[in-house]
Structure 1
Amino acid sequence: MTLSVAPERAALETPVPQIIGGEEAIGAATFPAIDPSTGRVWAEVTAGTPADVERAVSAAAKAFPAWRATSLDERQRLLWAVAERLGSGAEEWPVLLATENGRPIREAGLIDVPTAAEIFRFFSGVVRDLHGQTVPCGPGAHVVTSPQPLGVVAALVPWNSPLISVAHKLAPALAAGNTVVVKPSELASVSTVEFVRILQDVFPPGVVNVVTGDGPDVGRALVSHPGVAKVSFTGGTETGRSILRDVAGRLAPTLMELGGKGSMIVCADADLDTVTEDVLTGIFAANGEVCFASSRLLVHESRYESLLERVCERADRITVGDALDPSTQVGPLVSRAHRDRVAARVAAAVEAGATLRAGGVEPDLPEHLREGSYLRPTVLASPGGTTSASCEEFFGPVLTVESWADEDEVVDRVNGVAYGLANGVCSADLARAFQIADRLESGMVWINTWFATPLGQPQGGVKASGFGREGAAATVLEYTTTKVVHTSLDPTRPPMWT
C-alpha cells in the first residue's frame, strides 16, 4: 500500500489490503473510502469475508503460545517501539486521519497521533507491574494467583478516532500476552490497516491482524467465532447489544464502550468565561462526533440567557470547512448519510418545541466542497428539556441548552437518560460540585472542565454506555483471567473414610 499525499488531498494508488498472519491480502472485492470533505472516493478497501476472518483468527491462535511466553521486559520493549514508530510518521498521520473521517487536521496532529503513541508508552510501563498475589489462607496452605492472557482478542474499532481507539485496545491486550484481530469501521478503515501494517516488523507474524469489511458480514463472523476469547468493542449502543447477543451462546467476555449523552450542569456561581470555552470544546471538538461530547448544557435559570447568548455568538463564528485546511475548526461529518441523520434529529427536536438558535444548516462552501457532508455548529434552546434532543445521542455538532432551578430536579433530569458515560458540574463551590457529582449516574464526571482524559484515569460508562474501563493500569486486567494455584502444606486429612 502506497500513500501519496498531494498538496491538497491524500490518495492511495493500490487497494487497501487486509493483514493476516503477517501477510498483506487483497481480496476479490473492494468497497470505497470516501473523503467526507469532498464526497469523492480516495481509496478502495478490501471487502473481507468470513473466510478471511477464519484465517485471521487461526493466525492469531497459532501465534498465541509463543507470544504469551514472551517476557515482560520484551513486551515492554516492543510496546515502546510502537510508540516510537507512531512518532516517526507524525507528519503523515494527520493527513490520513483528516482525509478518512473529516476530523480537522489540526486536531489530528495535536491530539490523535501523540495520544496514540502515549497509550503505548503508558502500557509499556504498566506491563512490568503485571503480577499475581499471595493469598493468606492459613498455615496449612500456600495460595498464589497469577494473571493469565485470554487468547485471541477481537478488537472492533469505531470511525471517529480510529488511531486512538485501536491503541486503547491493542496496547493493553498485547501487554497482557494476548494476540489480536482488529476490525475497523467501514467508514474509516485505512488508518487502522496502515497502523497494523507498520507493526508487522515489530511483533511476530499473527500477533496483530486486521480484517476489513462490513459489520453484518465480517464483524459478526469475528465476534461469533469460537476461537475468539474476548470481544472489545467501541461504538454505538445498538451495535453493542447485537454483539452481546452474538457472544451470549458461548459466554465470551466483552468490554463495551458505547454511546453517551453527556450533560454539563452549570451552577449559578460558575465562571461563564471558563464555562463557555469548555462548552465549545465539549461539543464542537472532533466535529461533535464523540461519545462523551457535552451535548446537553443545563444552566441555572439565573445564568441561562447570558450563557446561551455567549455560546451562540461563538458558535456562529466557528470556521467550518475542508478537514485538510489548517484553519478549519469544524470539519465535515463522517458521511452524508450520517449528516442527514443528524440534521433530521435537529428538525425533529425543533418540531417538538426546541428553538434553533444557531447553525442547523449547511455552510456556504466553495464548489469543490459542496458534495461534502457539512453541518454548521448547531445550538438548540430547550429550557424544559422535553424534546428528543435531551435524550438521544446525535453524535454531531449539536448542543441542547436547558434551564434549571432546583438541584434535585437537575440531577434527576441528567440521570433520566439511558446513558451514563460522562457528565460534568461547573461551580465555584467545590463542596457542592462534589455532592452533585456523587449523585450522577455516570462512569466519568468532570468538575470545572471537560474532555480531561489523562492516561491512568479510567474511561468507561454505566447503563447503556457499556462496561469495562480503558486507559488505566487496571485495563490490562480486562484482558486476563485469574489463575489460582493452591499448594497444601499440611499432610493430615480428616477421617472421612475410616
Structure 2
Amino acid sequence: MSAATMREAFVPSGPYGLHIGGEEVAAGDVFEAIDPSVGTAWAEVPQASSGDVDRAVAAARGAFASWRRVTPATRQTLLWRLADAVEAEPERWARLLATENGRPIREASAADVPTCAAILRYFSGVLRDLRGDQIPLEKPDSLVYTVREPLGVIAALIPWNSPLITLANKLGPALAAGNTVVLKPSEFASASVLEFARLAQGILPPGVVNVVTGYGPSVGAALVAHADVAKVTFTGGTPTARKIMAAAGAALTPAIMELGGKGAMVVCADADLDAAVADAVTGIYMANGEVCVAASRLLVHRDVHDEFAERFAALARSIRIGDALDPATQFGPLVSAPQRDRVAAAIAAAREEGAAVVVGGDVPALDAPLDGGFFLAPTLLADPAGSTSASREEFFGPVTVLERFDDDAEALARANATRYGLAAGVWTRDLARAHRMARELEAGIVWVNTWFDLPVGVPMGGVKDSGFGRELSAETLHEYSAPKVVNVDLGSARPQLWGER
C-alpha cells in the first residue's frame, strides 16, 4: 500500500459557511485550504466580504444585550459543555489539525485538544470570581463600590499555528465576562474554527460567537476598524499588530496584543545538560517551530558550549520527519509554501552574515506524496557572538541559534538585546543565580530549568514588541470587562453653597 492510499486526511462534515447570528451562511466566494504535508487542496473555505463583517458584528451586538445578563451559573455551564464537546472527539480534532496546519497528530492529541478544553473549563470556574469592590471612605454617609461589566463585541483575530488553543484563549475569558465575539481565523487554519463554530451552535445562544473567514487585508481590516467593536484581541506577528493598532486606533478601540518572541534560553556552566538539551530541542521543534514562545536563541556558557552543541545536534538529527497524519511522525511540515520559503530565506541571510549551519538548514528528501509538502529540516545555526540576524529576528520556524557567553552579565545583556520580550529561561543549579537572572531578564515569562511549561492559570504575555495584556489567567477577565463606580449617598447633610445664608 502506498503512502498516498494510507493517508487518512480529515474530511469536512459538509461545505463550510460563515457563522453569523447562529446560522451557517454561504459567502460570495471561496478559497482553498491546503494540506501542508502534501501540498494539495482538501477543503474550500468561505471568503467573507465587508458586508459579511458588518452582519457578524451586528449579530454579536444584538446578542450582547441578552448575553451580558445571563447568570454566571448559566455561562459557567455553557463553557463547561463546550469543553465536554471538544473532549468528546479528540481523534477527530487531532486529525483536523494535522490536515490543516501540519501539526503532528501525536502533538495535537496530547497538547492542543486537552489544552483547549482545559482553558474553557478554567474560565468556566474562575468567572465566579469576577467581582467589583467596596471602596473605604472617610465620609461616613457615602457608600462607593464598583461592579465589573462586559465591554461588548470583541473582535478576535487568531493565527494558524495553534488555532484551537488560541480560540479558547480568546473565547474563554470573553464569554465568561459576558461579551460576544466575532472570530477571524487565519486563512491557513480556518476549518478548525468553523468546525468549532458548528459545535458551538448547538450550545451557545445565536450571535454569541460569530466567525468570518478570509484574507486579512480585507476581512481582518474591516473587522478591527469597525465602530461597533468594543475591543480587539490579536495573536500573531508584530508587523501585522502595528497595522491592526493603527486601524483600531482610528476608532479609539483598545486592544490586547500577544505577539512574537525571540526567546533566549541561557545555559550556565553548572546546568544539568541532559535536561537542558532535551528542553532546548522540545522548546524549538515542538509545533514544527511555529510558536511564539519557542527557544529560538541558545546562549550557552563557554565551558559547556561544545558538549551542548554536540548533544543537541545528535538529538536533532534523530528526529523523525514525516506526514503530520502519521502517529510516528515527530516533526511535520510548515504551514504553507510561503512560510517555508520565508524561513529558508532567513537562514540564507544569516549564513551570508556569518552564521554556520550545524544541522539541518535544507529541505529534506521525502517520497511522494510528501515531496509536494512544505518541509524544512530542524535547523541549528551557530553564531557564537550573536552578531547575525539569526540572533535578533524571529524566524517562526524550526530554527534556533547557538551563541556562546563567558559570564552572567554578558548573558543577560545579550539576552535582553532584542526588541522582543515574551519568554526567556535559565538553566542552573545555583538558586541565587536563578532568582537573580529571572529578575533581570526582560520577558513576560521566565522559566528556570524548564521550557514550554504554561499551565492554565498562569498569566501569558510579553513586554516590549512582544505585546501587552495577559491571557490564560484570572486577571484576563479584567481585560474583557471594565469597572463601573456606584456612589450612593446615605443621607448626608448638604452645605449651603448657593443663595442667601
Fold shared by both chains (TM-score > 0.5)? yes
Indicate the SS of the match to 1:473. coil
Structure 2 runs not aligned, ≥5 long: none
Which residue of the partner structure matches residue 220 of structure 2? 219
C-alpha displacement of 1:11: 3.3
What is the TM-score of this pair, normalised by structure 1? 0.98
Mapped pair 1:126 → 2:126: yes
Alignment length, in residue pairs? Answer: 494
Which residue of the partner structure matches residue 236 of structure 1? 237
Read off the aligned partner of 2:250 and give its amino acid letter. Answer: G
C-alpha displacement of 1:495: 3.1
Query: Structure 1 runs of 4+ off > 3 angstroms?
Result: 11-15
Provide Cα deviations, 1:64-99, integer angstroms capped at 9, x if missing partner. Answer: 011001111111111110110101111200000000
C-alpha displacement of 1:7: 5.1
Which residue of the partner structure matches residue 314 of structure 2? 313
Provide Cα deviations, 1:14-53, integer angstroms capped at 9, x if missing partner. Answer: 5321110011111121011000000000001000010000
Read off the aligned partner of 1:440 and give its amino acid letter. Answer: L
Contact 1:14 1:44 in 2 (8 A): no
Residues 6-405 of structure 1: pairs in structure 2 closer than 5 A: 8-12=8-12, 14-138=14-138, 139-405=140-406
Going from structure 1 to structure 2, the CA distance change for 1:372 and 1:183 (only over 3 Å counts) comes to same
Give distance in 2, aligned partners of 1:11 and 1:29.
Answer: 21
Which residue of the partner structure matches residue 459 of structure 1? 460
Contact 1:433 1:447 in 2 (8 A): yes
C-alpha displacement of 1:490: 4.2
Give distance in 2, aligned partners of 1:418 and 1:356.
Answer: 25
Contact 1:15 1:30 in 2 (8 A): no
Contact 1:119 1:171 in 2 (8 A): yes
Which residue of the partner structure matches residue 484 of structure 2? 483
Give distance in 2, aligned partners of 1:444 and 1:375.
Answer: 28
Contact 2:9 2:96 in 1 (8 A): no
C-alpha displacement of 1:412: 1.1
Give distance in 1, aligned partners of 2:72 and 2:492.
Answer: 36
Provide Cα deviations, 1:145-184, integer angstroms capped at 9, x if missing partner. Answer: 0100000000101000000000000010000000000000
Give distance in 2, aligned partners of 1:464 and 1:140.
Answer: 48
Give distance in 1, aligned partners of 2:280 and 2:158.
Answer: 27
Give distance in 2, aligned partners of 1:287 and 1:166.
Answer: 20
Give distance in 2, aligned partners of 1:352 and 1:364.
Answer: 27
Read off the aligned partner of 1:286 and give its amino acid letter. Answer: A
Read off the aligned partner of 2:305 and give its amino acid letter. Answer: Y
Indicate the SS of the match to 1:322. coil
Give distance in 1, aligned partners of 2:294 and 2:495.
Answer: 62
Contact 2:102 2:333 in 1 (8 A): yes
Contact 2:292 2:396 in 1 (8 A): yes
Give distance in 2, aligned partners of 1:162 and 1:60.
Answer: 21
Give distance in 1, aligned partners of 2:24 and 2:217.
Answer: 23
Give distance in 2, aligned partners of 1:494 and 1:462.
Answer: 49
Contact 2:225 2:250 in 1 (8 A): no
Provide Cα deviations, 1:415-436, integer angstroms capped at 9, x if missing partner. Answer: 1100000000000002111101
Indicate the SS of the match to 1:107. helix
Going from structure 1 to structure 2, the CA distance change for 1:202 and 1:14 (only over 3 Å counts) comes to closer
C-alpha displacement of 1:297: 0.2
C-alpha displacement of 1:10: 2.1
Give distance in 1, aligned partners of 2:422 and 2:360.
Answer: 26
Read off the aligned partner of 2:184 and give its amino acid letter. Answer: K
Read off the aligned partner of 1:108 and give its amino acid letter. Answer: A
Contact 2:344 2:361 in 1 (8 A): yes
Give distance in 1, aligned partners of 2:332 and 2:497.
Answer: 75
Read off the aligned partner of 2:48 and give its amino acid letter. Answer: G
Task: Determine what percentage of the aligned residue pairs are the same residue.
Answer: 56
Contact 1:36 1:332 in 2 (8 A): yes
Give distance in 1, aligned partners of 2:413 and 2:251.
Answer: 38
Instruction: Give the stretch that moved more between structures: 487-496 or 24-33.
Output: 487-496
Indicate the SS of the match to 1:496. coil
What is the TM-score of this pair, normalised by structure 2? 0.97
Read off the aligned partner of 1:37 and give its amino acid letter. Answer: S
Provide Cα deviations, 1:421-468, integer angstroms capped at 9, x if missing partner. Answer: 000000000211110110011000000000010011100000000000
Read off the aligned partner of 1:8 and give its amino acid letter. Answer: E
Give distance in 1, aligned partners of 2:172 and 2:219.
Answer: 23
Give distance in 2, aligned partners of 1:214 and 1:384.
Answer: 40
Give distance in 2, aligned partners of 1:233 and 1:399.
Answer: 25
Provide Cα deviations, 1:367-404, integer angstroms capped at 9, x if missing partner. Answer: 21111000110000111000000000000110100000
Give distance in 1, aligned partners of 2:13 and 2:108.
Answer: 23
Provide Cα deviations, 1:314-342, integer angstroms capped at 9, x if missing partner. Answer: 11111111100111111000001100110
C-alpha displacement of 1:9: 1.7
C-alpha displacement of 1:292: 0.5
Give distance in 1, aligned partners of 2:85 and 2:12.
Answer: 21
Give distance in 2, aligned partners of 1:309 and 1:156.
Answer: 41
Instruction: Give the stretch that moved more between structures: 108-117 or 194-203.
Output: 194-203
Indicate the SS of the match to 2:384. coil
C-alpha displacement of 1:411: 0.8
Give distance in 2, aligned partners of 1:308 and 1:194.
Answer: 43
Contact 1:15 1:26 in 2 (8 A): no
Contact 1:284 1:397 in 2 (8 A): yes
C-alpha displacement of 1:496: 2.4
Give distance in 1, aligned partners of 2:6 and 2:319.
Answer: 27
RMSD: 1.1
Give distance in 1, aligned partners of 2:483 and 2:179.
Answer: 14
C-alpha displacement of 1:6: 8.5
Indicate the SS of the match to 1:400. strand
Indicate the SS of the match to 2:303. coil
Give distance in 1, aligned partners of 2:233 and 2:225.
Answer: 13
Read off the aligned partner of 1:28 and give its amino acid letter. Answer: G
Give distance in 2, aligned partners of 1:167 and 1:147.
Answer: 22
Give distance in 2, aligned partners of 1:137 and 1:217.
Answer: 51
